[in-house]
Structure 1
Amino acid sequence: MRIGIVVDSACDLPHEFLEKNNIVVLPITVRIGEAVLADHRDEEATLGFLHAHVAERGHEAETTPFTVNQIRDLFLGKLVIDYDHVFCLTITRTRSPIHDNAMQASFAILNDYKPARQAAGYNSPFALRVIDTQNLFAAQGVTAVEAVRLREAGTGLQQMRERLELLAANTHGFMIPRDLYYLRARARTKGDRSVGLLSAALGSALDIKPVLRGYRGATEPVAKIKGFENAVEQMFRHAGNQVMKGLMAPTLCMSYGGELSELRALPGYQRLRDICENNKVEVFESVMSLTGMVNVGKGAVVVGFAAEPHEFKPG
């Protein structure tokens, strides 16, 4: 059984990991004025685009995910031949149309795949499962890493599906944005009024940073902490505490809206890495996707892991 894994480019995992494990990326195209880049998880290209365009005008960006027809064409032209069963793991459907596009495309794919497979010499059936990770950015990576582990272990398809859906429902993504004015400007561009001018102004004036949590499709503030570095340290401490209590999968993903050297210099980073190493939890860190950066701003930090339900408690 040849099992394929597909993610969208908002899923923050290292490019090397995606390539090594043949994970297919559905790119999201970002346009800022005349500048256009299809995000294929190329960190060098992302950082170049960040420095040239995102910092100044990122809030004006237009993002275009793969359409129903583009997903259909990718599968019928390649994936139904290369694989017998594909798990497509998408960003939460509450924040992007990618999941719904993939679901619509799946009907056409499952109706039309037989001629393509037969022409390639395969007479066995093809199956596709679209799974909503119910999260964003680094937190999306948790289910993708687990899918690779399950595939390598030879796990049965039904057990694999159930396991991935269980993790998706129990993955927690925590984010600290660096610039609340940027977050507000981006929200206004998208017609999202959840970040008001007053709260952005007060937050910036008082240097108060929100801790945002992605969980089961919802994104909401769970704490407000004075100082960006202090907030990040508290988030890292919280993640470390959950690692010591025991995660549901031995994976912790981190992403940063900029150079990874800046992430590694943040307070609490090394302590979190040490805790993960001592508890045999594998850490994956990557430059945040271009899609993520244009939505939450340069310098944002995200941590994702799967754990039992719990509350964020600043240390």
Structure 2
Amino acid sequence: MTVRIVTDSSCDLSADDIERHRITVVPLTIRFGDREFVDGRDLPAERFYEMMANSDRLPSTAAPAPGAFETAFRELAAGGADAIVCVNLSFALSATGESAQAAARSLTGEVDVRVVDSGKVSAGLGLMVKAAATAAEGGHSATEIETQLAELKDRVLIYGVLDTLENLKKGGRIGAAQALLGSALSIKPCLDLTSGTVQEAGKQRTRGKARAWLAKKATEVGELEHLAVAHGAADDIDSFVAGLGDTPARHPTTVTLIGPVVGTHAGPGVIALAMVPAT
């Protein structure tokens, strides 16, 4: 059985990973006022942060239409896929998964499509997508991959520190971190996104203390299977990564630039850690 993996552009995987694992990525769209861009196609992440820094208005995001997923599914089926596993960003944060589900329903009886709510964002989603692709390459069935993803979902931890709450507040994704708003001007928010929603995890007075808090999260977990660092064009990312030291992980630490989808809501300067504790 040939199983192919689909995801959306919030996964923040590198072009090399996408090509190496033959992952199909369905893009979201980014809007700056009246201008609309297709994520990853006509708006590279570096350009996005430049535009956001020079814009008086915050950007917004839009989920792909069901037709975009349907086209991707049909192309993979035509290319020989017996089954498709589509792993999307947290359903609690976006309608992207609903679009994928609608597309899957429209193909009932034509091709076996499984839509999975990763419950994660950015590098956390990326870790799950790569795991699914590796399993597919190893000959696992769609059902086996679904089971593996359900187990991995419970293990992936995501923590982040923001430089500003402005984007998260105006984008309507503040979630259970509402209490942070009252002191937004005087603190650096620390967030727990493990559940697929935005949860307050702490408050720090300075960016340095926020970075120390985040780095401590990596050491508190103990031995790690995977550790991924993601950031929103943070100018201090190199020193942060260097400060992690010899954090025990079975695989090399990856560092990725957060793309426009998550960057729109997290804002510039965000740093996040996605971790999988060793078993």
TM tier, smaller: 0.7 to 0.9
* Unmatched runs of 5 consecutive residues or more in structure 1: 114-125, 309-315
Q: Distance in 2 between matches of 1:302 and 1:90?
A: 19
Could you tell me which residue of structure 1 aligns to residue 71 of structure 2?
73
Could you tell me which residue of structure 2 aligns to residue 47 of structure 1?
46
**1:215 aligned onto 2:194:** yes
Could you tell me which residue of structure 1 aligns to residue 231 of structure 2?
256
Q: CA deviation at 1:36?
A: 2.5
**1:20 aligned onto 2:17:** no
Counterpart secondary structure, 2:48: helix
User: Quick one: which amino acid aligns to residue 136 of structure 1?
Assistant: V
2:244 aligned to 248, 252, 272, which one? 272
Q: Distance in 1 between matches of 2:112 and 2:56?
A: 38
Q: CA deviation at 1:191?
A: 8.3
Q: CA deviation at 1:263?
A: 1.4
TM-score when normalising by structure 1 = 0.79
Q: Distance in 1 between matches of 2:21 and 2:103?
A: 24
Q: CA deviation at 1:68?
A: 1.4
Q: CA deviation at 1:56?
A: 4.3
Could you tell me which residue of structure 2 aligns to residue 311 of structure 1?
none
Q: Distance in 2 between matches of 1:193 and 1:137?
A: 17
Would the alpha carbon gap of residues 282 and 135 (structure 1) be closer, same or farther in structure 2, given more than 3 Å must change?
same
Q: CA deviation at 1:149?
A: 2.6
Could you tell me which residue of structure 2 aligns to residue 146 of structure 1?
131
Q: RMSD of the alignment, in Å?
A: 2.6
- Equivalent pairs counted in the alignment come to 277
**1:204 aligned onto 2:179:** no
Q: CA deviation at 1:29?
A: 0.6
Could you tell me which residue of structure 1 aligns to residue 168 of structure 2?
183
Q: Distance in 1 between matches of 2:96 and 2:65?
A: 8
Could you tell me the percent identity over the aligned residues? 20
Q: Distance in 1 between matches of 2:245 and 2:95?
A: 34
Q: CA deviation at 1:255?
A: 1.1
Would the alpha carbon gap of residues 191 and 143 (structure 1) be closer, same or farther in structure 2, given more than 3 Å must change?
closer
Alignment of structure 1 residues 278-289 onto 2, 5 Å: 279-289=249-259
Contact 2:11/2:122, CA 8 A, preserved across alignment: yes
**1:169 aligned onto 2:166:** no
Could you tell me which residue of structure 2 aligns to residue 64 of structure 1?
62
Over residues 241-285 of structure 1, what are the superposed CA-to-partner deviations in whole Å (9 max), with x where a residue is unaligned?
32xx334xx2222211116x641222xx22436324xx4233222
Higher helix share: 1
Deviates more, 1:233-242 or 1:20-29: 233-242
TM-score when normalising by structure 2 = 0.88
Q: Distance in 2 between matches of 1:303 and 1:55?
A: 24
Could you tell me which residue of structure 1 aligns to residue 33 of structure 2?
33
Could you tell me which residue of structure 2 aligns to residue 121 of structure 1?
none
Contact 1:15/1:41, CA 8 A, preserved across alignment: no
Would the alpha carbon gap of residues 170 and 5 (structure 1) be closer, same or farther in structure 2, given more than 3 Å must change?
same
Would the alpha carbon gap of residues 231 and 38 (structure 1) be closer, same or farther in structure 2, given more than 3 Å must change?
same
Q: CA deviation at 1:92?
A: 0.5
Contact 1:132/1:168, CA 8 A, preserved across alignment: no
Q: Distance in 2 between matches of 1:131 and 1:263?
A: 31
Could you tell me which residue of structure 2 aligns to residue 296 of structure 1?
266
Contact 2:166/2:267, CA 8 A, preserved across alignment: no
User: Quick one: which amino acid aligns to residue 135 of structure 1?
Assistant: K
Over residues 24-51 of structure 1, what are the superposed CA-to-partner deviations in whole Å (9 max), with x where a residue is unaligned?
1110110102332211278x82211220
* Unmatched runs of 5 consecutive residues or more in structure 2: none
User: Quick one: which amino acid aligns to residue 284 of structure 1?
Assistant: T
**1:130 aligned onto 2:115:** yes
